[in-house]
Structure 1
Amino acid sequence: MSFEIVKQGVRDFGGLVLPNVETGTGGRYGDLMEFTRERILQRGVVDIVTVFVPNGDGGWTAVIGYECDSSDDPVTGDVHVRVPSGYFAVFTPDGPVADPVADVWMQVEAAAQEGRIDRAFAEEIEITRDASEVELFISLA
Structure 2
Amino acid sequence: MSFEIVKRGAQDFGGLVLPNVETGPGERAGGLVEFTRERILQRGVSEIVTVYVPNRDGGLSAVIGYPCGDLDDLVVGDVLVRVPAGYFAAFTPDGPVDDPIDDVWRQAELAAKEGHIDRAFAEEVEVTRAPSVVELFISLV
TM-score by length of 1: 0.96
1:70, CA displacement in angstroms?
2.3
Q: Trace 1:1-141 onto structure 2 (pairs within 5 A).
A: 1-141=1-141
Query: Does the 8 Å CA contact 2:28/2:34 hold for their aligned counterparts?
Result: no
Query: Does the 8 Å CA contact 1:12/1:71 hold for their aligned counterparts?
Result: no
Structure-2 change in CA distance of 1:133 and 1:12 (3 Å)? same
Query: Does the 8 Å CA contact 1:74/1:80 hold for their aligned counterparts?
Result: yes
Tell me how large the CA RMSD over aligned residues is: 1.0
TM-score by length of 2: 0.96
> What number of residue pairs does the alignment pair up?
141
Instruction: Kindly provide the CA deviation profile for residues 2-30 of structure 1, in whole angstroms up to 9, marking residues without a partner as x.
Output: 10101111000000000000011142224
Runs (4+) of structure 1 exceeding 4 A deviation are none
| Structure 2 gap ranges (5+) | none
Q: Identity of paired residues, percent?
A: 74
Q: What secondary structure is seen at the aligned counterpart in 1 of 2:66?
A: strand
